[in-house]
Structure formats: C-alpha cells, structure tokens
Amino acid sequence: MRIDQSGPAVTPVLAAAVRVQAEQICEEHLQRERLLQAGLVPSRTALFVGPPGVGKTLVAKWMAQHLGLPLLVLDLSSVMSSFLGRTGGNIRRVLDYAKASPSVLLLDELDTVAKRRDDGAEVGELKRLVTVLLQEIDDWPATSLLLAATNHAGLLDPAVWRRFDAVLDFPLPDEEQLCQALDQYCEKEADREVLAVVAKVLRSQDSSFADAQRLASAARRRAVLSEVPVADALLDSCGQQVRHLSFPERVRFAMELVQADHMSQRRVCELTGVSRDTIRDRLRRQTEQK
C-alpha cells in the first residue's frame, strides 16, 4: 500500500454522469452530520468501472483532496501472494489500517481478487478470499470512503456489485472531453482549432485520456528540443498516427477535417497524406449527390 503524496490533482475532465456522482459522494461526506441527524449515512463505498486510462485513479485523488483526507492506494495485483492464504491476512491488515482514521482507500485492480466464485478455474482459497473481501466491504465505516477500480467488470463476482453504495461507469472520452483534456496537458499552449483536430484523431482511434496525455507530453518535449510551437509539434505527432491508418480511413478522416473547417486543404493533405486532387474529387461527388 502507498499513501499518495503528490501535488494537487488537476480538476478531471469527466462525463457529466460521472461528475455528478463523484460530487454527490463528496457532498455527502462533507455534510455527514446533517445526514446523521436525519438517520442517514453517507455513501461508504463506490466502484469505478471502465477501461484503462479514463481517469479512475485521478478521480479518486481529486475526491480525497476535495474531502481533505489522505488517499491510500492498494494495488491488489501486487499483494497476491504466491501463498494465497497470506493474501487474506494482508488485505485485512491494510483495511484495518485504513479504518483506523478517516481516509479514502482506493483498491486498484479489484478484479485481481474479487473474481467470480463460480469460475471453475479458480482455486478454493481464492474463492474464500472473495468472501473475506465482501465482509470487509460490509463493515466499512461511514467516516472513511472505500473506492475500488476495475478495468474488467465482467470478471467480478456478482455479489461484489451489490456491496457498493454507488457504481461509477467511466466511458471513453468524446471529442469535446479530449479537447478539454489536451488543453490541460498542453498548458494552454495550443490553439483550440488544433486541439479540436487532434481530439478528432484520438477519438477516431478510441483513445483514452492517458493516450491523449502521452501524445501531448511527447509533443511538448519535441517542441522544446526542436524550437517549434507546441501546436505544430502536436499536429506532427498526430499526423504520424493518422498515416498508420489505411488509405480509405485516411480519406474519410481528411474529408471530416475539411468539412469541419478547422484547417486549410493544404494542411489537411500534409497531415493525412491524402492528395488535394482526391479531396476535391470527393467534395465534387458529394456536391453532385445533393
């Protein structure tokens, strides 16, 4: 287990539904006394579900800092002992530590431990470990917040889902969310029009926030070393990804960029490797079909 002591979390870019749920849970803990007076308790546990790189860990950090509580992170894949009997004791000790004082505990890669107990491939000891984990979740105090994250929701035991007060489903980001995230990652050093183009490329490849951050970081390093604007470095890096697409996909993407009117036909040609003659021919056909 580690205690997250990194700097302030950047306000995460989230789907509206996820943001509403995260803020609601935080508000419940900040207003705990009002709930207790009404005979209610705040949400004690929440399950974060979604593919890698969509912000699950970042949201846990943001919630902990919003609540003014330490964030404890336990990567369950790292505590799986070769002697399974020890793993249950390890998890109990960590959870007891987190219960001792108000905190936010993130159980990462929950599916490593909380697998379906009807999976015939799993040994009996691991199935008993799931039971231990469920008991600990049931006993979690309202003074702390237990978060769990998984990239593989289908592997979880059905009983696990029922134990959590809230389930937050993190989808892959859309173009607007990618654009907002890129603006953060580039520290506002690139024009909105450029970010919109890059976001469109990333979305066409089902990219995550983590993918966008890697692309932006690489572009900023390239901009410094080559002494070029971040926007140019970002477009060049983006173009390298586009040119790995098949020719029909590049033509389709080039047409989307031209019609979105974010850049000139010449720049679209440079970015996608599709000739201006091809673009003009497609535009002519579309006009004739109308």
Three state DSSP letters for 264-280: CHHHHHHHHCCCHHHHH
> pLDDT tens digits, residue range 38-48?
999 999 999 99
> pLDDT tens digits, residue range 150-165?
999 888 878 888 889 9
Final residue of a structural domain among 149, 169, 189: 169
Looking at the fold, whether 192 and 76 belong to one and the same domain comes out as: no
Whether 134 contacts 95, CB under 8 Å: no
Global pTM?
A: 0.83
Checking if the pLDDT of 15 tops 80, the result is yes
Instruction: Please name the helix (run of DSSP H) or strand (run of DSSP E) that holds residue 146, with its range, or none.
Output: strand 145-150
Percent of the chain with pLDDT over 90: 45
Looking at the fold, whether 165 and 187 belong to one and the same domain comes out as: no
Q: Tell me how many domains the chain contains.
A: 2
Looking at the fold, whether 128 and 188 belong to one and the same domain comes out as: no
Looking at the fold, whether 16 and 69 belong to one and the same domain comes out as: yes
Looking at the fold, whether 230 and 90 belong to one and the same domain comes out as: no
Under 8 Å CB-to-CB from 223, ≥6 apart: which residues? 189, 229, 230, 232, 233
Looking at the fold, whether 7 and 114 belong to one and the same domain comes out as: yes
Final residue of a structural domain among 123, 151, 169: 169
| More confident call, 138 vs 94 | 138
**Per the structure block, which two tokens stand in for 191?**
């024009």
Task: Report, as an integer, the average pLDDT of 200-223.
Answer: 93
> pLDDT tens digits, residue range 165-181?
999 999 999 999 999 99
Work out the burial of residue 7: count CB atoms within 10 Å of its CB; fewer than 13 is exposed, 13-18 middle, 19 or more buried: exposed
Instruction: Please choose, from the candidates 86, 134, 85, 142, the residue with its C-alpha nearest in 3D space to the C-alpha of residue 110.
Output: 134
Looking at the fold, whether 217 and 153 belong to one and the same domain comes out as: no
Looking at the fold, whether 70 and 37 belong to one and the same domain comes out as: yes
Task: Report, as an integer, the average pLDDT of 243-265.
Answer: 82
Domain hosting 249: range is 175-289
Looking at the fold, whether 139 and 187 belong to one and the same domain comes out as: no
191 phi and psi angles, rounded to 5 deg:
-65, 150
